[in-house]
Structure 1
Amino acid sequence: MRSIASSFLSISCFLYVAILSAICTAQSVRLPADLNPGDEYRLAFVTAGMRDATSSNIADYNTFVRNEANAPSSIVRGLATEWFALASTSDVDAIENTGTDPTPDGDTGVPIYLVDGMTRVADHYDHLWGTYRVGLHAPLDFTQYGIALNGSNNVWTGIGSNGVALSDQLGTNTPWLGMSRVRTGRWLGNRNTTSSSQINSLYGISSVLIAVPEPSTASLLCAGVFVLLRRRTDTARRVPLLVYRR
């Protein structure tokens, strides 16, 4: 009976730790310190790689951002989320492409962080698209590798600070550029470029994530119990049987 109970406890602890670890790995780079377990949030980054802006198909830019997020050594590689370009074409506005429509008025949406999971960029969608009034908390200048973008900080956007396409969206001859190192509305709309054939970075944003706790003391305790029970079982197997002869 004791053996059955020990086996059940060890299996339960093992499964608990395995499932919790899988959830943490799949859904959270690091739990933002100002969120509670169960809170929703999103991650954003600027791509280390660059491309032109000749395509008028938003799917091309979404694919580029997704590939950048899953590049080797990316700290968000394999994260259980979708990735979208913070950009506009003639057919799709950025607020539609990313699901960040700030209407109705008020604090709509979820907070947005850099990929380090610690630095808050915007409190909600109204803040993200309202930087002509209130700047970002931090520049969106971290790449998928968790480091600041080197070199040029020009980023393809095709949008103004309100998330809606300008006349010079991606796919036109002279698309609009943002700047990744600033917190004002210029992070989205700084100036036109001279040619869509130039290569620049893009901004990427995840779908909504759920904050989950990192492995807790209870998890570590279960892991410890599992190890002890396993060791005890192995020791019992090695104890020789004593045979008494008359």
Structure 2
Amino acid sequence: MIFRQLFERESSTYTYLLACSETRQAVLLDPVIETLERDMAVLQELDLTLAYTLETHIHADHLTSACRLRSLAGSKIACPAADALGCADLGVAEDRPLKVGALTLQPLFTPGHTDTHHSYVVETPSATRVFTGDALLIDGCGRTDFQSGDAATLYRSVTEKIFGLGDDALVFPAHDYNHRHASTVAQERERNPRLGGGKTREEFVRIMAELNLPYPKKMDLAVPANQLCGDCPDDTERALRALENKSIQG
């Protein structure tokens, strides 16, 4: 398997490139519009054909480049089938894995951050990798106070499904704000301050309720645009970039 972890600075988003080394067919997981040119350059450098873009969920903090990549690279758009997006070419679910050459991405239904959120498990001879989206972060997790989120549901998703993958499974989150790249199931089960150390569901629900996080500044623009797979009016993209510039200058 060919694997690259790519980072978008403004939203601290990781995009993952996974490809079959035999067929040179690739998938980009959670691509971001700001890094479109970079992603195209990496594909060219590695002599890969982009077969699919794939989403863990409908994002509230950035705009996906799925639709733009379909236009430029001829890739198909895959996303959780439960989202029922008219712009998608393929819906994935636990009983409908995504196959790219000899590579299989096994969807794992992990709601709680959103009610259709999926993680993806990739098994290779050397490691089990789980791409956890916003369900499980390094020493944290995605918020549950908007966009169909539910703390008790997220607790079950992480403790019963992700933590059940085995201690050595490598955890690759959708975001990290402290320049960390990966973790393990064992590490998160032991020391995650929200979900680890044997915390009960009630303790987790209380922790999440007491976070008092600000309203996501891009949510009202990003969610509708991502429900169109990023095929949004130019003024939406300009407005999202203006919010980024304001954040940098402020």
TM-score (norm 1): 0.25
Larger Rg: 1
Q: Which has the higher contact order (CA 8 A, sep 6+)?
A: 1
More strand by share: 2
TM-score (norm 2): 0.25
